[in-house]
Amino acid sequence: MAFLVRFTSGLICAPITPEIARRLSLPQMVVENADPKGTAYTISIDSSDPSVTTGISAQDRALTCRALASPTAKFEDFRRPGHIIPLEAKSGGVRERKGHTEAAVEFCRLAGKSPVGVIAELVEDGELVEGVPEIRGNNGMMRRDGCLKFGKKWGIKVCTIEDLVEYLERTEGPVPNGKH
């Protein structure tokens, strides 16, 4: 988690299925979602484990994500609001909505794990120049080429959402009526 916080915006999200959102009573953050990409933010959470202090440390956030991924997780296992933002994926996955939220849940499903991911937006390092903002062409956020370089530098495999969709359609076919 510390690695994720260090190289990202620090806003850590946890993609989940609609079933998990319902089971844990995680409603949408807002009634009318104005997010341009339609990202389905739920209310934020922290683990209610007694070892969690403020909820913002990498250790606390990792514990919250592990608790969220537990198949036995229940409403009482979390405090609201918190420092992890669960995101509700579309039930049809990346073949219904080509978003990071759905991709994370798909990867978990394909790996045979609990359908709970952990994601954050990578940021460009930038160059500090006195009197000049660090923002680059992508508002300081890493895009495809930057992500590929980052993956190579740190030995992390990188896959595009398009590659994932192609793989799923080849191995599982199209999603009928937007459902798995």
pLDDT in tens, 28-86: 999 999 999 999 999 999 999 999 999 999 999 999 999 999 999 999 999 999 999 99
In tens, the pLDDT along 94-131 reads 999 999 999 999 999 999 999 999 999 999 876 666 76
Q: Which helix (H) or strand (E) element contains residue 107? A: helix 100-110
The reported pTM is 0.89
* Closest of 11, 96, 82 to residue 45, by C-alpha: 82
Q: In DSSP terms, which residues pair with 13 in a beta bridge?
A: 85, 119
Fold observed for domain 2-123 = DHBP synthase (3.90.870)
Residue written as token pair 């609609």: 18
What angle separates helix 161-172 from helix 100-110, to the nearest 10 degrees? Answer: 50
- 8 A C-beta contact, residue 123 and residue 9: yes
